[in-house]
């Protein structure tokens, strides 16, 4: 059943699109997700949500709710410890402020938690919510990030316990800036200066599986939480803090999960679920409805971005200056790092003489923003790549050629990373593996870039072709680490234990491939046990495009350790020199043809060492190599209706070695779909009182199969020397290009620049001066 897509190499596993380890159970619809299996005696948890955007809770009376038969518990802020924390699933110490509480006496957005209920059934839980009497002191809200930063704006976090907020009196969560060279001087040296403003909305991840957790107390009175999370170890640590339990009394298990996209890099509901279990001593399930998912999970940060570019007539960029104001909503989770990423993940793309970035992150009374695939880079690249395109028109240069003349190259130092390292906020990096030039070349050929002016650009339906470039990173250098263990079982098979968290991407399969490659064993002889904090070594989890690079490096090293031990034991058994031995399939072979099975090696390990053979490694990444992408869109703009159709989309992506080509393609294709939605249809819409107007999948339009263009995906393989078998990351980088590539294609088609996402028909018509 193995499909070989990488013939000509000696690889037996890596580079081949083997069947996804969990693929068969997924296509069979087996009960593999959190809510598919219920412990006996399961109670149903629900959250009472705030109807107000900003209010103080004067009183809560749960008497009537508690009197209802079948209600097991009602918890309010008076019943739980008040522990400031961040819900962000980041390595400790988190860069996000500690401004969140399990339950609070203040609500800061519509949908904020007011009380928790556990009941015997969903019916009773729903009735109980209606019987909780809450008296609110309604406070003036603020919904615009710039207004929130003005003097006199309503103060959203006025509590004393919160910390890590830059200036709570101004609703200022965080500030980040960096500079390379002197931007003012470089702008003065420019022949042409281009300046423009962009605006991007909050959008939702819309993982099909909502946030859901089931918690219970096991026979040893330990708290067990089975949850749909990207970060089991961070959830365990934060739960311990919030519930005042020792970490050792908590077990977090991630089963298969129905999509995350960053929305589950967060302790969103686990604390509420677990608090209800502790209060009732019952297993409790807490699952968001789709409406709650929109109101109460997380969003991509809405931002306003200002870009100023300086260039010489020959196209040489002298300066890039970007200023951003970001709306993190009611809590500061991920606010600093996402908004910082809008600069430090994007500006390194071009070797301008000087670079400067400044961002202010503001609280508002909107739903909470957080991590979302691309982590700030989609916002930054939409602005930067739109501005670069406009500059090309101003300079009368081919947009592709302008980029070619300025992009970062192989061996170049990422000067932004150097500036951040000086601030103690990052690790300097150079570009080792580099496929961007080839991405541009092959992508341009696939979209027929040279003939783009031949597409019809008059009449009602006008076509245009645009491109955008992007880069990302592979984990967070110096911070992210993973560990892995590989145990040789008595039957000669391998058990890989890893904290890596497969959120549907196929990460478990890739990790098994890496182990299999080194151990010489077929991939189906490697069982993966992952993401259970009781059973596997620590790993940061799945975020920042990290699993293949961070966890994959740990697995590679653990497998090498295991292999050396196998060879030592086999050398003893075969009385042969170790250097003549090779791990092959289910045994070890010598150059003279002698053979010993792994089952015999496993038995020998027990006899000789008194323990099973196990390879171990922990690995903290010293580097974070960027993957690159060049993405091209051909669009058709209906100048009567304003409707934009994407006809063709080409992605050329350099992810280092594609360890599993089919899965790599799948990551790119899915990222493009998400990017097209960001470009054209997705936007969280609020009314004047801060209530969401489109908190459902009818009014909030994600991309369906019949909205998709013809897709071309090109894997440009480079070799990343620090990655496992040359791999770096892939999952996020192709999310960055669609919005600017489509905006640039619209510009090419109809001559106007859309500076606000999504590029809906009314905005297109307005830009065309039709309405």
Partner 1 sequence: MSGASQRVPLDLHVNGEAHTFQVRMHDSLLDVLRREGYTGAKRVCETADCGACSVLVDGRLIDACSTLALQVHASRVETIEGLAGAMLHPLQETFLRHAAAQCGYCTPGMILSMKALLERKPDASEAEIREVMTLCRCTGYVKPVAATLEYRDARGQKRPERERRE
Contact 267, 234 (CB under 8 A): yes
Q: Which of residues 5-24 bind partner 1 (CB under 8 A)?
A: 17, 19-20, 22-24
Stretch that binds partner 1, among 77-85, 296-304, 613-621, 662-670 (CB under 8 A): 662-670
Secondary structure (3-state) at 93: coil
Task: Give least dist CB 216 to partner 1, A.
Answer: 19
Q: Which two tokens stand for residue 283?
A: 């297993």
Q: Where are the beta strands (DSSP E) in 343-395?
A: 354-363
Check binding of 571 to partner 1 (CB under 8 A). no
- DSSP H helices in 526-632: 552-574, 598-609
Q: What contacts 371, CB < 8 A, 6 or more positions away?
A: 88, 89, 262, 263, 265, 266, 298, 334, 338, 543
- Cα distance between residue 592 and residue 653, in whole Å: 44
Task: Give least dist CB 691 to partner 1, A.
Answer: 18
Q: What is the DSSP string of 662-726?
A: HHHHHHHHHHHHHHHHHHHT----B-TTS-BS--STTTS-PPPGGG--EEEEEE-----TTSGGG
Judged by CB, which is closer to partner 1: 480, or 665?
Answer: 665
Judged by CB, which is closer to partner 1: 588, or 731?
Answer: 731
Task: Give least dist CB 72 to partner 1, A.
Answer: 16
Contact 438, 723 (CB under 8 A): no
Task: Give least dist CB 701 to partner 1, A.
Answer: 10
Q: Which two tokens stand for residue 236?
A: 């365990």
Q: Which two tokens stand for residue 55?
A: 């209010």
Check binding of 67 to partner 1 (CB under 8 A). no
Task: Give least dist CB 659 to partner 1, A.
Answer: 13
Secondary structure (3-state) at 303: strand
Q: Tell me, residue by residue from 231 to 270, as one string, x for binding to partner 1 by CB under 8 A and - for no binding.
A: -------------------------xxxx-x---------
Task: Give least dist CB 672 to partner 1, A.
Answer: 5
Check binding of 711 to partner 1 (CB under 8 A). yes
Task: Give least dist CB 506 to partner 1, A.
Answer: 7
Stretch that binds partner 1, among 56-64, 163-171, 296-304, 500-508 (CB under 8 A): 500-508
Task: Give least dist CB 177 to partner 1, A.
Answer: 35
Task: Give least dist CB 36 to partner 1, A.
Answer: 4
Q: What contacts 108, CB < 8 A, 6 or more positions away?
A: 53, 54, 156, 157, 330, 331, 363, 365
Q: Which two tokens stand for residue 629?
A: 């992408």
Check binding of 31 to partner 1 (CB under 8 A). yes
Q: How many residues bind partner 1 (CB under 8 A)?
A: 61
Write out 614-644 in H/E/C secondary structure: EEEEEEECCCCCCCEEEEEEEEEEECCCCCE
Q: Which of residues 175-214 bind partner 1 (CB under 8 A)?
A: 205-210
Check binding of 227 to partner 1 (CB under 8 A). no
Check binding of 662 to partner 1 (CB under 8 A). yes
Q: What contacts 683, CB < 8 A, 6 or more positions away?
A: 201, 202, 203, 694, 700, 757, 758, 760
Judged by CB, which is closer to partner 1: 72, or 488?
Answer: 72
Judged by CB, which is closer to partner 1: 339, or 735?
Answer: 735
Check binding of 503 to partner 1 (CB under 8 A). yes
Q: What contacts 329, CB < 8 A, 6 or more positions away?
A: 109, 202, 299, 363, 364, 365, 366, 367, 368, 369
Check binding of 670 to partner 1 (CB under 8 A). yes
Judged by CB, which is closer to partner 1: 399, or 541?
Answer: 541
Q: Which two tokens stand for residue 9?
A: 């190499």
User: How distant, in Å, are the alpha carbons of 97, 162, 348 from that of 173?
Assistant: 8, 11, 25
Judged by CB, which is closer to partner 1: 130, or 591?
Answer: 130
Judged by CB, which is closer to partner 1: 540, or 673?
Answer: 673
Nearest to 317 by CA among 358, 350, 349: 350
Q: Which of residues 71-130 bind partner 1 (CB under 8 A)?
A: 121, 123-124, 127
Q: Tell me, residue by residue from 283 to 312, as one string, x for binding to partner 1 by CB under 8 A and - for no binding.
A: ------xx----------------------
Check binding of 28 to partner 1 (CB under 8 A). yes
Check binding of 66 to partner 1 (CB under 8 A). no
Q: Which of residues 671-690 bind partner 1 (CB under 8 A)?
A: 671-674
Stretch that binds partner 1, among 304-312, 425-433, 562-570, 696-704 (CB under 8 A): 696-704
Question: What is the crossing angle of helices 270-280 and 232-243, to 10°?
Answer: 50
Secondary structure (3-state) at 409: coil
- Cα distance between residue 189 and residue 651, in whole Å: 35
Check binding of 220 to partner 1 (CB under 8 A). no
Q: Contact positions toward partner 1, by CB under 8 A? A: 1, 3, 17, 19-20, 22-24, 26-33, 35-37, 121, 123-124, 127, 205-210, 256-259, 261, 289-290, 503-506, 662-663, 665-666, 668-674, 696-698, 702, 704-706, 708, 711, 713
């Amino acid at each position: 059943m193995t499909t070989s897509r990488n013939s000509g190499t000696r690889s037996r596993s890596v580079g081949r699109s083997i069947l996804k380890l969990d693929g068969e159970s997924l296509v069979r619809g087996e009960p593999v997700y959190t809510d598919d299996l219920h412990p006996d005696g399961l109670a149903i948890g629900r959250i009472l949500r705030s109807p107000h955007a900003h209010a103080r809770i004067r009183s809560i009376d749960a008497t009537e709710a508690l009197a209802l038969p079948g209600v097991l518990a009602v918890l309010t802020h008076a019943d739980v410890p008040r522990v400031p924390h961040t819900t962000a699933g980041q390595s400790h110490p988190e860069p996000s402020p500690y401004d969140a509480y399990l339950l609070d006496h203040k609500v800061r957005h519509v949908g904020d938690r007011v009380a928790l209920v556990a009941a015997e059934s969903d019916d009773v839980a729903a009735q109980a919510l209606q019987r909780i009497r809450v008296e609110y002191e309604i406070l003036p809200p603020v919904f615009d990030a710039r207004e929130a930063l003005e003097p006199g704006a309503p103060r959203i976090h006025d509590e004393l316990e919160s910390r890590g907020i830059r200036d709570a009196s101004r609703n200022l969560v965080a500030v980040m800036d960096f500079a390379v060279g002197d931007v003012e001087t470089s702008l003065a040296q420019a022949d042409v200066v281009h300046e423009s403003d962009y605006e991007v909305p909050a959008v939702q991840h819309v993982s099909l599986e909502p946030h859901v957790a089931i918690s219970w107390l096991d026979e040893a009175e330990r708290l067990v939480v089975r949850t749909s999370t990207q970060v089991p170890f961070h959830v365990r640590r934060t739960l311990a803090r919030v519930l005042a339990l020792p970490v050792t009394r908590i077990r977090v298990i991630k089963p298969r999960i129905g999509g995350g996209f960053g929305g589950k890099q967060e302790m969103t509901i686990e604390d509420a679920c677990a608090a209800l279990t502790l209060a009732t001593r019952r297993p409790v399930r807490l699952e968001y409805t789709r409406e709650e998912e929109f109101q109460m999970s997380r969003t991509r940060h809405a931002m306003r971005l200002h870009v100023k570019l300086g260039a010489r007539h020959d196209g040489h960029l002298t300066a890039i200056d970007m200023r951003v104001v970001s709306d993190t909503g009611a809590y500061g989770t991920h606010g600093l790092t996402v908004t910082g990423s809008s600069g430090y993940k994007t500006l390194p793309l071009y070797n301008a003489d000087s670079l400067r970035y400044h961002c202010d992150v503001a609280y508002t009374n909107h739903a909470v923003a957080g991590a979302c695939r691309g982590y700030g880079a989609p916002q930054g690249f939409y602005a930067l790549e739109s501005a670069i395109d406009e500059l090309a028109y101003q300079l009368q240069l081919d947009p592709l050629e302008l980029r070619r003349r300025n992009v970062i190259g192989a061996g170049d130092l990422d000067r932004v990373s150097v500036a951040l390292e000086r601030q103690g906020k990052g690790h300097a990096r150079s570009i080792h593996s580099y496929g961007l030039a080839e991405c541009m070349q092959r992508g341009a050929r696939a979209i027929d870039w040279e003939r783009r002016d031949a597409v019809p650009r008059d009449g009602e339906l006008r076509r245009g072709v645009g491109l955008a470039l992007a880069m990302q990173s592979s984990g967070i250098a110096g911070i992210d680490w993973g560990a892995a263990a590989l145990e040789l079982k008595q039957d000669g098979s391998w058990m890989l234990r890893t904290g890596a968290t497969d959120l549907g991407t196929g990460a478990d399969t890739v990790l098994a491939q890496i182990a299999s490659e080194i151990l010489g064993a077929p991939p189906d002889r490697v069982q993966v046990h992952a993401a259970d904090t009781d059973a596997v070594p620590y790993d940061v989890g799945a975020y920042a495009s990290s699993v293949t690079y961070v966890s994959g490096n740990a697995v590679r090293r653990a497998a090498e350790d295991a292999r050396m031990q196998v060879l030592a034991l086999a050398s003893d058994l075969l009385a042969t020199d170790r250097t003549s031995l090779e791990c092959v399939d289910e045994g070890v072979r010598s150059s003279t043809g002698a053979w010993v099975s792994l089952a015999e090696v496993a038995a020998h390990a027990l006899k000789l060492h008194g323990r099973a053979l196990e390879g171990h490694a922990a690995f903290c990444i010293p580097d974070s190599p960027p993957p690159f992408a060049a993405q091209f869109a051909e669009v058709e703009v209906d100048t009567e209706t304003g409707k934009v159709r994407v006809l063709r989309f080409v992605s050329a992506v350099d992810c280092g070695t594609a360890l599993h080509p089919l899965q790599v393609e799948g990551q790119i294709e899915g990222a493009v779909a998400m990017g097209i939605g960001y470009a054209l249809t997705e936007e969280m819409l609020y009314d004047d009182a801060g209530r969401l107007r489109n908190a459902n999948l009818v009014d909030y339009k994600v991309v369906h199969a019949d909205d998709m263009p013809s897709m071309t995906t090109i894997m440009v393989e480079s070799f990343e020397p620090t990655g496992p078998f040359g791999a770096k990351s892939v999952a996020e980088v192709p999310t960055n290009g669609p919005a600017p590539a489509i905006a640039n294609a619209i510009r090419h088609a109809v001559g106007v620049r859309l500076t606000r996402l999504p590029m809906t028909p009314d905005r297109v018509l307005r830009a065309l001066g039709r309405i």
